[in-house]
Amino acid sequence: MKHIICILICTIVLCAETISFASSTETTSLPKPKLDGGIPLYEALKKRATGRAFSTKDISDKQLSQILWAATGVNCEKSQKRTAPTAWGNNEITLYVLLKTGTYIYNPIKHNLVTISKKDNRALGGIQKFTKDAPVTIVMVADLDKISQTKDEAYKMAVSQMDAGFISQNIYLAAVSEGLITGARAYINKDKLRTALKLTKNQKIILANSLGYIKK
């Protein structure tokens, strides 16, 4: 009985995610991520640091693919579980990717980018001046409607902030392995960014990581 309930919950979550990506049909395929290799974990932890001075040089599609998979990609095809844990397995965090070519949603199930705008919204990814220079900003948005285990919005936000932290750390470690720098922040003009991302009232901007090469 418990096994059947778990299957039903997983099915509902996957259906909800499919619906959330269905509003846009324009997608961009990402290279298949490499699931082995990279630098050793402890070396990545030793080198982990926050970067604020970004080169305007673009990162490759392969690097972007690897970072997004590491952030919250599917690491088990059978169960569709992710590289980052979330409370109750709700997967309430969606990654919005700000590039100079436009604004996208990362679909971890299909490992692709769903276009929501052709506008360069990178400057809205943070208050700091460096955000416009970084070639990539990954914004973590929580859908509070996906957290059905409690009605307490403050608790939903606390859980979402915790889950976004897991994802952000994955981005940090993957960035080290890819020879890139990243910096997380919550200092964001959320009203302007919310409009650009076309969010609903129960979708909350939690955190953002800028990503790129170090400025020399």
Rounded CA separation 183/212 (Å): 10
Percent of the chain with pLDDT over 90: 87
- The domain tally of the chain equals 1
Q: What is the 3-state secondary structure (H, E, C) of 164-198?
A: HHHHHHHHHHHHHHCCCEEEEECCCCHHHHHHHHC
Write out pLDDT tens, residues 91-147: 999 999 999 999 999 999 999 999 999 999 999 999 998 999 999 999 999 999 999
Helix axes 61-72, 153-177, angle to 10 degrees: 140
- Dump pLDDT digits (tens) for 165-200: 999 999 999 999 999 999 999 999 999 999 999 999
Neighbours of 201 (CB within 10 A): 8
pTM of the model: 0.89
Q: Could you list the residue range(s) of the whole structural domain that residue 95 is in?
A: 2-212
Q: What is the pLDDT of residue 17?
A: 53
Q: Please give the average per-residue pLDDT across 74-87, as a whole number.
A: 94
* 85 vs 174: CA distance, rounded Å: 16
pLDDT at residue number 18: 46
CATH number of the domain that residue 91 is part of: 3.40.109.10
How do strand 102-107 and strand 74-76 relate by DSSP bridges? unpaired
Confidence band, pLDDT 50/70/90 cuts, at residue 25: confident
- Distance, in Å, from the CA atom of 129 to the CA atom of 158, rounded to the nearest integer, reads 28
